[in-house]
Structure 1
Amino acid sequence: MPRVLVAYVHFIDGLNRRVGRFAMYLLYVIMAIMIVSMLTKAAHVPALWTLEMAQFTLVAYYMLGAPFALQTDVNVRMDLIYGRFSHKGRALTDVFTVFCLMFYLGVMLYGAFDSTVYSFEMSERNPTAWRPVLWPIKSIITLAFGLMLLQAVALLIRDVATLRGVKL
């Protein structure tokens, strides 16, 4: 395999591993927000921001963790037939199916980017009492789709290397 492809795979794997590790700690942020929500309600001064902030943090947790899940192969799949394939058989199957994934992620990235630009230009806000701006969470979603697309390309390169008998 060309060195540039090997370097690409290692760089993207390292990047998504670090982003995924960061995303794992967002669960603690969600818990802290929910504790603040519980305490303010118990004190009869409920905070308006806690529900939405917990939802936004959950979106960031889920979306930023997705590329790491794709990298570590913990995503859900139907293993009725796939699980019986050899290592090279799985790689061959993945070479064909990853193009469907990349098409899907490309469409989602395009839509997310377009929505983020609109949100930023129009200063779009959530229509609630707190009225937070939406471009930060939409930017995170766009970033996550970009990272997932880059990880899908890395998986394609790794599967082609497997078919050629090269270990990455």
Structure 2
Amino acid sequence: MSEYDLDLDQVEEAVAHKAAVDYPRTRISDSLERIVELFGRTSSFVWVILILLIVGNVVLRYALGTNFVALEELQWHLYAVGFMLALSYCITHDGHVRVDVAAERMSPKARAWIEILGIALFILPFCTLILIYAWPFVEHSMRIGEVSAAPGGLPLRWLIKSVILLAFGLMFLAATARLFRALAFACGWPRPLGTPEQNNNHSPK
């Protein structure tokens, strides 16, 4: 059996988004991204708790022949929390899915303007609508003291619903930061951070 020497850095570079554009940082984007980073890194512990909870539920069901509705609901809730809070973190680190076949044929400046239009016309209005309509949804749940409809389920249903407000608020901040970075790349406003040499590396071709 032959052996192969693999350069993991080259493999990572090969599978990375070829259509991604490395936008320069700005003062505004840095401030907004710090908030998103704080929540993204702080909430990462949710996945550890979720894994332990899943294992615990499996042991209870198949080894002890019992289960608790509250623990199963908590499992679903933690998954929702982790997923929703990860959306803004994904935007900040440019980890979303791209149609690379189309994007690779465009210039970096054209891709930047497409992203600017996409954020301004779709992501930000979508987040705004969600926040507007989610607030009464959460407020009503809090006011009536909503609990799980299942016997033995979790109380304080408004807590999980309020994550919608937090998640889409963070997504709005992340998208706004991305918008300013794309604008800095495409037209030089707001002014990019860094030395002139570093900024020239980000200039559109």
- The TM-score, its normalising length taken from structure 2, stands at 0.73
Of the three residues 49, 58, 69, the one matched with 2:79 is 58
Unaligned runs of 5+ in 1: none
Contact 1:120–1:135 (CA<8 Å) still a contact in 2?
Answer: yes
What one-letter code is carried by the residue in structure 2 that aligns with 1:8?
A: I
Is 1:167 the counterpart of 2:189? The answer is no
1:119-134 mapped onto 2 (5 Å cutoff): 119-132=141-154, 133-134=156-157
Deviation of 1:19 after TM superposition, in Å, equals: 1.6
Of the three residues 88, 112, 125, the one matched with 2:134 is 112
Counterpart of 1:93 in structure 2 is 114
Cα deviation 1:53-102 (Å, max 9, x = unaligned): 01000000000111010111111132232232222221111111112111
Counterpart of 2:170 in structure 1 is 147
Deviation of 1:117 after TM superposition, in Å, equals: 0.8
| Segment drifting more, 64-73 vs 39-48 | 39-48
Between the aligned partners of 1:118 and 1:74, the Cα distance in structure 2 is: 35
Between the aligned partners of 2:39 and 2:105, the Cα distance in structure 1 is: 32
Counterpart of 1:22 in structure 2 is 42
The alignment of Structure 1 onto Structure 2 pairs a total of residues equal to 164
Between the aligned partners of 2:166 and 2:102, the Cα distance in structure 1 is: 33
Identity percentage of aligned residues: 23
Q: Determine which structure has greater relative contact order: mean sequence separation of CA pairs < 8 Å that are 6+ residues apart, divided by chain length.
A: 2
Counterpart of 2:65 in structure 1 is 44
Cα deviation 1:93-117 (Å, max 9, x = unaligned): 1111112111111111112222111
What one-letter code is carried by the residue in structure 2 that aligns with 1:148?
A: M
Between the aligned partners of 1:31 and 1:11, the Cα distance in structure 2 is: 32
Determine which structure has the larger helix proportion and give its number: 1
Which of the pair has more CA radius of gyration?
Answer: 2
Between the aligned partners of 1:112 and 1:130, the Cα distance in structure 2 is: 26
Is 1:7 the counterpart of 2:30? The answer is no
Deviation of 1:40 after TM superposition, in Å, equals: 2.3
- The TM-score, its normalising length taken from structure 1, stands at 0.88
Between the aligned partners of 2:79 and 2:152, the Cα distance in structure 1 is: 18
Counterpart of 1:77 in structure 2 is 98
Between the aligned partners of 1:80 and 1:56, the Cα distance in structure 2 is: 36
Give the root-mean-square deviation of aligned CA atoms.
Answer: 1.8
